[in-house]
Amino acid sequence: MRVAAYSDVEYRRDGDSLYAPESFVVFMCRLAKFVDHLTLVGRLAPDEGRSHYRVPEGVGFLGLPHYAQLSRPWTAVGAMARSLRRFWRLLGEVDVVWLLGPHPLAVLFVLLAALRRKRVVLGVRQDFPSHMRTRHPGNRAILGAALVLEGIWRLLGRAYPLVAVGPDLARRYRGGEVLPIVISLVDEEHITSREQALTRSYDGELSVLSVGRLDPEKNPLLLAEVFARLRDQDPRYRLVVCGDGTMKDELAGALRAAGVEEHAQLLGYVSLDDGLRDLYRSSHVFLHVSWTEGVPQVLFESFAAGLPVVATAVGGVPELAEGRSVLIPPGDADAATEATRRVVSDPDLRAELVDAGLDCVRLFSLDSEAQRVTALFAGNAASEL
């Protein structure tokens, strides 16, 4: 079985190596272990350079013409037209296409694949209208286009099997053959023991860790507000933020304005192998403050380190994290502050969260979820989580 997998990801070359900025590509690449050949399809940046995740050797790649922003469609039309020609040629070399959307190109790729009588499997990773609403607040044209694309994708989901990241998205796309999955990139060897997790001391400095893109939908400015309140209550708190994005400078400014800049670290992107795994293990609370989410990988990484989690109850988070994290409403600084304080002050609560998180992360593996997706590619019936 030869598979092509498309997502609107901007890939980048560095010599003979190929890189991607999103951890989801790691999951896509694992599919290669269970199929005869995998070809990734996505935009290729015009300038060379490395990004966060290296695509393994043996995984094919079809680079599509680059465009900067889909929110300016007139700049993308030419590149998208050339993309259709390239994808049409690729269809002669594959048996199955996995198309992540909603996205205009993904919709058009469905039509091309249907004309070539290829098996089509759709995919959805997040609530697209909510994502666009937070990324382009007040822009009715973009929100309207997002709602139209969402509607088209849902209609296509009634005709083609669909992989949904998390049970919340799976319910939104009910009516067709839907396979809900959980994306966990944690290997068994990296899961800490309960004994080691519970030796974490809360008597000295208290490190609050946040990991993720610093973009509007992640609501990073709330971190500064919550951290300032925590420092007012207890000067032992410090904040560590790992991630890059469009709001990194704004977050630094908010921390400075709150007078807590010297107690916070904005480390930029940090990979698991280059220090992030150690930060999970040495921190005391993980704080997740997004406005919108699918099922965030960072929760699994926190669970694997035995790190207690405070998380916003958005998207697929509640069903994954209920009973395994302290859940809070999005945008509520009071709730986030109080939940963090509870975790720090209540050892019984911490033990409950550690046990439940470790149990959760052991339920899912990268290989098992990749096998479930490739079984759907082969035409086997989707199963519930």
Map 344-380 to HEC letters: HHCHHHHHHHHHHHHHHHHHCCHHHHHHHHHHHHCCC
* Residue 175, pLDDT above cutoff 70: yes
**What per-residue confidence (pLDDT) applies to 3?**
98
Pair of tokens at residue 68: 């900067």
Q: Do 267 and 105 meet the contact criterion of CB atoms below 8 Å apart?
A: no
- What is the pLDDT at residue 201? 94
CATH architecture type of domain 2-184+366-377: 3-Layer(aba) Sandwich (3.40)
Task: Give residue 135's pLDDT.
Answer: 75
Residues counted in the chain:
385
Would you say residue 381 has pLDDT above 60? no
Specify the pLDDT at position 190.
86
pLDDT average, residue stretch 249-267: 96
* Section 48-57 average pLDDT: 90
Task: Find all residues with CB under 8 Å of 360, minimum gap 6, and list them.
Answer: 300, 303, 320, 324
Mean pLDDT of the chain: 91
The reported pLDDT for the residue numbered 8 is 93
Domain at 188-363, CATH homologous superfamily = Glycogen Phosphorylase B; (3.40.50.2000)
pLDDT of residue 369: 87
Which pLDDT belongs to residue 168? 79
| Mean pLDDT for the stretch of residues 208-232 | 95
pLDDT in tens, 70-93: 666 667 888 889 999 999 999 999
Give the model's pLDDT for residue 73.
67
Q: In terms of pLDDT, which residue wins out, 139 or 253?
A: 253
Q: What is the pLDDT of residue 382?
A: 53
- 100 versus 367: the higher-pLDDT residue is 100
Distance of CA 363 to the CA centre of its chain: 19
Segment among 268-282, 294-308, 368-382 with least mean pLDDT: 368-382
pLDDT digits (tens, 9 = 90+) for 345-369: 999 999 999 999 999 988 877 888 8
Distance spanning both ends of the chain, measured CA to CA: 25
If you average pLDDT over residues 105-133, what whole number do you get?
91
Residue 384 has pLDDT above 60, yes or no: no
State the Cα–Cα distance between residues 124 and 108, nearest whole angstrom. 16
Range list for CATH 3.40.50.2000 in the chain: 2-184+366-377, 188-363
pLDDT at residue 364 in the model: 79
Q: How confident is the model at residue 43 (pLDDT cuts 50, 70, 90)?
A: very high
Model confidence at 211: pLDDT above 90: yes
Given a cut of 70, whether residue 209 has pLDDT beyond it is yes
Give the mean model confidence (pLDDT) for residues 378-382. 73
The model's pLDDT over 2-25, given as tens digits with 9 standing for 90+, comes to 999 999 999 999 999 999 998 899
